[in-house]
Structure 1
Amino acid sequence: MCLIIKNIGTRRRTPHKLTTKGKGDSDVDHPSLLLSDDRIQAKPIRLLPIEVPAIPTDDIKVAMTESLQHENIVKLLGYGYFGNTRFLAYEFADMGSLHDILHGKKGVEGASPGPLLSWSQRVKIALRAAKGLEYLHEKAKSPAIHCAVKSSNILLFSGDVVKLGEFNLSIKAPGTGLSLWSAQPLGNFVYQAPEFVSIGQLTSKSDVYSFGVVLLELLTGRKPLDRSRPHQEQSLVVWAADKLAYDKVGEIVDNRLRGKYPPKSVAWMATIASACLQFDQDHRPEMSHVVKALRRNESLMCS
């Protein structure tokens, strides 16, 4: 088949031959593909459908290319159309997502988790993902809220590269409210902050809460919601919060690690997660503070 893609940074529209490579983890009907022509070396890309009226192409160029240029943000390669469907084309994460590694391929029944992540790897993943979110919130030319922070949107690449992907962005206008691109439900409800669930309020602190859930996944190796567990353990946040409140961090650490981790580093990660998961958004840290705390955690790896 053929997809018409407009390459980012140019005004050229090019038809590309595409070969199906497999299903995406959350967009089952929109596979990852190989793109090639005479001018572009074959490379895997990932296609995500977009709502044309909700996301004008000019906005894509401004928000996704001019603003979002960071080593921990997935690259937008282009945008285009196939028939009546519009797409965004992103670089392909060859190592999958954090969800794939911790819990197994999303949407695939009975999928086994990937290779066990060491504690050191988990700390590095957390820090690099946090840097991407800090950039979105505080350092981008047009600061934005990710709106879909979860383990399946933390993408892993060869060479220990970690990037945030699959945005459902809201642009933060200085001194004003938020301008949503879509009225669609944002993310998975198990990652949603209390204020969004209750009154639909969305701020950068909503992302911070979602990131706190991801930190718990790294800490425990558990899914945010696991209906196969006893009722009182199905919600990761509820189960872990009770343990953390009584300083029982050792009881929730991923038992697959078999104790191979620095206790101080684990305790510090738990402290960061607890701060991110505060019910009152005003009590949650900014992502720049989270990044500083995670950098300190790296130093605890040696103590």
Structure 2
Amino acid sequence: AESLQFDLATIRVSTDDFSEANKLGHGGFGSVYRGRLLNGEDIAVKRLSTNSGQGDLEFKNEVLLVAKLQHRNLVRLLGFCLEGSERLLVYEFVPNASLDHIIFDPTKRAQLDWVRRYKIIVGTARGLLYLHEDSRLKIIHRDLKASNILIDAEMNPKISDFGMARLFVLDQTQGNTSRIVGTYGYMAPEYAMHGYFSIKSDVYSFGVLVLEIVSGQKNSGFQHGENAEDLLSFVSENII
């Protein structure tokens, strides 16, 4: 872990002391800033808020998990910083932001032809397969959604945000938790209602994500409810 550690001064310089001009976005766990190291490398710094739901356990979880993962469809962790009250994660910079900024924007969505949409779907599936089957670890993401899919300069998708991920032993098929985390609308029913999660939970979330990519509609944007069935009906009536 020490080899991945950045000092806070370096991060402050690279992000111009976390200036608003370098702010890329804000989520439930804090803000993300663009930075540039002295060697010219661009980085994205996830600055966890002190009152976020992600505590030291989740922070350690994300660092140790992502550091072991290497795949073209997973965002690459460069390091971390843990000084005082600051908890920072340093990632490779992905220039096209997250998928939700593209697919749900009418202007940007028009630039996504079916070839590019298919490429994003297949790349995400490959990253998910790596997490479930092909890596040395067996990992359930538990929060797969459009805002956690980053898009690089060649429009390749990269799965990000592993703070809620859970590690399975190789022969384990299902887990259970009383602490339900993630995003409603993407959650499998058995997880949302009973806390049961497995590979199937991620596959359910992936299915909702595919419907969003195909339709360009948010799964929560329907008057009849926030569920995949409404989104599937929309796709059937308007796309297929």
Deviation at 1:60, TM superposition (A): 3.0
CA distance in 2, matches of 1:130, 1:25: 26
Q: Does 1:60 align with 2:63?
A: yes
RMSD after superposition:
2.9
8 Å CA contact 1:78, 1:89 repeated in 2 = yes
8 Å CA contact 2:36, 2:43 repeated in 1 = yes
Specify the alignment match of 1:173 in structure 2. Answer: 169
Deviation at 1:252, TM superposition (A): 2.6
CA distance in 2, matches of 1:183, 1:15: 39
Which residues of 2 match residues 1-303 of structure 1 at below 5 A? Answer: 8=4, 15-16=9-10, 17=13, 18-19=15-16, 20=19, 21-27=22-28, 29-37=30-38, 40-49=39-48, 50-56=54-60, 60-61=63-64, 63-66=65-68, 68-104=69-105, 114-116=108-110, 117-167=112-162, 168-176=164-172, 185-226=180-221, 229=222, 231-232=223-224, 234-235=225-226, 237-242=228-233, 249=236, 251-253=237-239
CA distance in 1, matches of 2:234, 2:57: 46
Deviation at 1:101, TM superposition (A): 0.4
CA distance 1:97–1:202, shift in 2 (3 Å) = same
CA distance in 2, matches of 1:12, 1:32: 15
Deviation at 1:183, TM superposition (A): 7.0
- Which structure has the greater CA radius of gyration? 1
CA distance in 1, matches of 2:142, 2:210: 17
Give the TM-score taking structure 2 as reference length: 0.81
CA distance in 2, matches of 1:204, 1:33: 33
CA distance 1:235–1:45, shift in 2 (3 Å) = same
CA distance in 2, matches of 1:90, 1:184: 27
CA distance in 1, matches of 2:116, 2:138: 28
Deviation at 1:54, TM superposition (A): 4.3
CA distance 1:195–1:179, shift in 2 (3 Å) = closer
Deviation at 1:97, TM superposition (A): 1.1
Could you say what secondary structure the match of 1:121 adopts?
A: helix
CA distance in 2, matches of 1:173, 1:45: 31
Give structure 2 stretches of 5+ with no counterpart: 49-53
Aligned positions, number: 226
CA distance 1:29–1:240, shift in 2 (3 Å) = closer
CA distance in 2, matches of 1:48, 1:138: 31
Give the TM-score taking structure 1 as reference length: 0.66
Identity %: 26
Give structure 1 stretches of 5+ with no counterpart: 105-111, 254-266, 268-303
CA distance in 2, matches of 1:54, 1:155: 21
The one-letter code sitting in structure 2 at the alignment partner of 1:114 is: K
The one-letter code sitting in structure 2 at the alignment partner of 1:90 is: Y
Deviation at 1:148, TM superposition (A): 0.7
